[in-house]
Structure 1
Amino acid sequence: MLKYVNTGIVFQEIPDEVTLAINISNCPCHCPGCHSYYLWDDIGLPLDTHAIDAFVDKFGTDITCISFMGGDADPKAVNQLALYIHEEHPEFKVAWYSGKTIISSVINKRDFDYIKIGPFIKHLGPLKNPKTNQRLYRQKDDGTFEDITSRFWRQ
């Protein structure tokens, strides 16, 4: 079962979106230098369709996107929630930040509008560093994904 520890409305995680970031616990990645190491433990409240509905009721039109921050311990459950959002709350985009380098085969990528992959590697930095190993992809209208990581780099 997925559990979340906290949420926040963020403006820089997904370009051009006001995003509700849901921090999911029980992270199996354990990246050295992780700024959210408290998410390594299996703690928090259940993250299910009832929680999603409560977030939608609470934040409504204040957000345009819902992002799952983690969930690599149960990617199938993350995918089920993404599908639920697209079916029951189609006004929202759905994003997923995975610490893995490859998306699990149980994931239907078309259920996500954005997918970020890659563990945090301190000397390569986060998305805003052009040397980062992490990548953010956006689904295009034809269902393919394009790398939009460079949108985080200052020109």
Structure 2
Amino acid sequence: MDFNCLHPTIVFQEVPQEISLCFSITGCRVGCKGCHSTELWDPKQGEPLSNQRFTHWIERYQGLISCVLFFGGEWQPKTLIEKLHIAKSYGLKTCLYSGEQHVDMAISSQLDFLKTGRWVPELGGLDSPRSNQVFRDMHTLEKLNHLFITSPSHTSIAGADNVAA
């Protein structure tokens, strides 16, 4: 059975040092308070993501992307694993963003990167040192949250106002 997803997008910040084709899978069961993507809660949203359609999207962006990212989908492990195998067959890295604390080993063994942990507004996301969320390299199991945290001493692109004359 296929799961539904919203129209895929190219993202630059969710997987550090990767250009990712992101598939937002609908039917999320976590339902975090303060979620910025409540449209993902309804499994009827979006369109079915068949293996053929998934392959079409990968081929459309082949040579431009280095990673395939799934926002959710772990609640249908067989379907997700099929997509992860397809992505790997194209030489792409794989990542899953899950609101769960733990993900089935059959899924995590197919991933290069994994973000776990539900959204807790008081703790913030991966860009917060206080976050309960964890982003891991699944080959080394190294926690990579530090890659999302920007130092307050960094100046903005428009940061001329931060530079003394």
TM-score (normalizing by structure 2):
0.84
Partner of 1:39: helix, strand, or coil? helix
1:151 correspondence with 2:147:
yes
CA RMSD of aligned residues (A): 1.4
Task: Please state how far the C-alpha of 1:139 moved relative to its aligned partner.
Answer: 2.6
Q: Percent identity?
A: 30
The answer to whether the 8 Å contact 1:98/1:117 transfers is yes
Any stretches of 5+ residues in structure 1 without a counterpart?
A: none
Correspondence 1:132-147 to 2 at 5 A:
132-140=131-139, 144-147=140-143
Instruction: Please give the per-residue CA displacement for 1:19-43, whole angstroms capped at 9, x wherever unaligned.
Output: 1111110111110000000110012
Q: Distance in 1 between matches of 2:108 and 2:147?
A: 21
Partner of 2:126: helix, strand, or coil? coil
Regions of 4+ moved over 3 Å: none
Partner of 1:147: helix, strand, or coil? coil
Task: Please state how far the C-alpha of 1:73 moved relative to its aligned partner.
Answer: 2.5
Specify the alignment match of 1:8 in structure 2: 9
Q: Distance in 2 between matches of 1:136 and 1:5?
A: 23
Partner residue of 1:66 out of 62, 65, 68 = 68
Q: Distance in 2 between matches of 1:108 and 1:148?
A: 19
Partner of 1:21: helix, strand, or coil? strand
Specify the alignment match of 2:93 in structure 1: 93
Name the structure where strand makes up a greater proportion of residues: 1
Q: Distance in 1 between matches of 2:86 and 2:3?
A: 15
Correspondence 1:71-150 to 2 at 5 A:
71-86=73-88, 88-90=89-91, 92-105=92-105, 107-140=106-139, 144-150=140-146
The answer to whether the 8 Å contact 2:66/2:93 transfers is yes
Partner of 2:124: helix, strand, or coil? coil
Q: Which amino acid aligns with 1:47?
A: L
Q: Distance in 1 between matches of 2:90 and 2:107?
A: 18
Q: Distance in 1 between matches of 2:60 and 2:53?
A: 10
Task: Please state how far the C-alpha of 1:6 moved relative to its aligned partner.
Answer: 2.0
Task: Please state how far the C-alpha of 1:147 moved relative to its aligned partner.
Answer: 0.9
TM-score (normalizing by structure 1):
0.89
Q: Distance in 2 between matches of 1:55 and 1:68?
A: 13
Instruction: Please give the per-residue CA displacement for 1:128-154, whole angstroms capped at 9, x wherever unaligned.
Output: 0111111111133xxx42111111112
Q: Higher Cα Rg: structure 1 or 2? A: 2
Task: Please state how far the C-alpha of 1:78 moved relative to its aligned partner.
Answer: 1.3
Any stretches of 5+ residues in structure 2 without a counterpart?
A: 152-165
